[in-house]
Structure 1
Amino acid sequence: MTVIHPSALIAPDATIGAGCRIGPFCTIGPEVVLEAGVELVSHVVVEGITRIGADSRVLPFASIGTPPQDTKYKGEPTRCEVGARTLVREGVTIHRASVGGSGVTTVGAGCMLMAQAHVAHDCQLGEGVVLANNVMLGGHVHVADGAFIGGGAAVHQTVRIGRLAMVSGLAGVTNDIPPFGYVFGLPARLVGFNKVGLLRRGATRDQLRTLRTANNLLFKDPGEFAAKLEQAAARWAEEPLVMEIIAFIRDAARRRQLVRPGRMAAPELGGTDEEPGDGQ
């Protein structure tokens, strides 16, 4: 049964799915769709053209689908979508899209957005993304499946973060992070790859050894980067993890430079330079 607290304010045209639970003092706008089993615990605001996927849970004082913090936005009918089984913790803000992008801010299925995280207009989050407390994503940021962004990290607008990448807490990310990359510091530098995350998702030891060799060639060995990229593509053409990194680097849709390599200032916080932990 759908349960709605009497203090909740729900617009007559809102769509409320079967089995939803809407707690006290929630506010839901007329163009909102809550799919089956969504729970808004209390004091949640959902407005705009916004859809929240089935069995998602939103904790107090979160706001979803509110207008973007963009001076170009003049009330255009942009959208916001949150995937199924996503957990949105206290105080999270997810803004609907502005103009000049895809027209939709997207949070994929099975994500976890911890307290006070901010997802700005036109961001695109894949499935299983984790944003720890106080993460700040600027507008038009793309975060691929399974990426983990540590507490207090700030990500510049239009940055792209590859699949299963990891960003350390308090990092300042101004450039694109390739798939499986592990970045640390302010400004963030590429210090290794997400070995633990890959192992948890079925990567073999042989694949990790190959990935380490390829990372060393691309990001540590001397030489012109374009030449090293061609060498890696020829040498590991049949290795899907390596080719995923190369495809990311070659993607013409990227608007920012690739993150620069570096070394960790404090290895004990996340593993060694060679084998960082993923914190997940």
Structure 2
Amino acid sequence: MATMVQWIEGARPRTLPIAVSPVLVGTGAAIGSGVVAPGRALLALVVALALIVGVNYANDYSDGIRGTDDERVGPLRLVGSRAAAPSAVRAAAIVALSVAGLAGLTLVSLSRQWWLITVGALCILGAWYYTGGKRPYGYAGLGEVAVFLFFGPVGVLGTVLTQSGPPGALAIVGAVGVGLLACAVLVANNLRDIPTDEVVGKRTLAVLLGDTDTRRLYAALAAGPFLLSVAAGLRSWPMLLALLAVPLAVLPIRDVLGGATGRKLIRVLAQTSLLLLAWSALTAVGLLLGRFV
């Protein structure tokens, strides 16, 4: 039976910034438009956190029963390591995704954005079928597309819509930037796993691109949001605050382009998550301050 520490590790806390960041940016945009709704922001955060914990447990379960996690360099996998029974991990995934669904329904009922129920249902299905089902799309090189959409435009713009209404152009810029950095987190993870994923037939985007091109993709994804910040700064100078996060991008980009492998990429994963969180927090402040300039 897995310990509480192992369950927490299985939830992959290093990925939590992927959930927090879109809510930060979306809430910053909402406040920047003159609306302060802390209750709805908290509900959006619950949705995002429960969704990513759910997808992490769902991936653990699906990969574990396929045997694709038997040999791993990265964080603990509960099923693959035999620390927890597959049924227990599946139940944990279902509970987390159910919490996301209930919080989402509450948020939709408060905002009256009823069409978002369909979006929420797609998010939950996307979480399960990333590595679940007979034809998981994460095994077909589409994982980055889903992460970009769900934790970029959907997460950020959905947060704005449920708090203040239709998003403006700067919020859309923030959504794209969050999506790119969320993808960078996944690319760092999949870059590390190329050798083992190739063996078990897991065709992630990293496997399809190969080592060299995956490293270039990571660098582009990690640097791209700063170009967006510069462009947005031409319209509203507080958006330039996100450039303060540039130093956090230097080391992981250097390590990836320098050929880091194995456990060194675990460090890159943590650094990329921190970069995502910092860029998002600074962008949220920029969006908020934009109201006054």
TM-score (ref. length: structure 2) = 0.24
Q: Which protein has the larger Cα radius of gyration, Structure 1 or Structure 2?
A: 1
TM-score (ref. length: structure 1) = 0.25
Q: Answer 1 or 2: which has greater helix percent.
A: 2
- The higher relative CO (CA closer than 8 Å, separation ≥ 6) is in 2
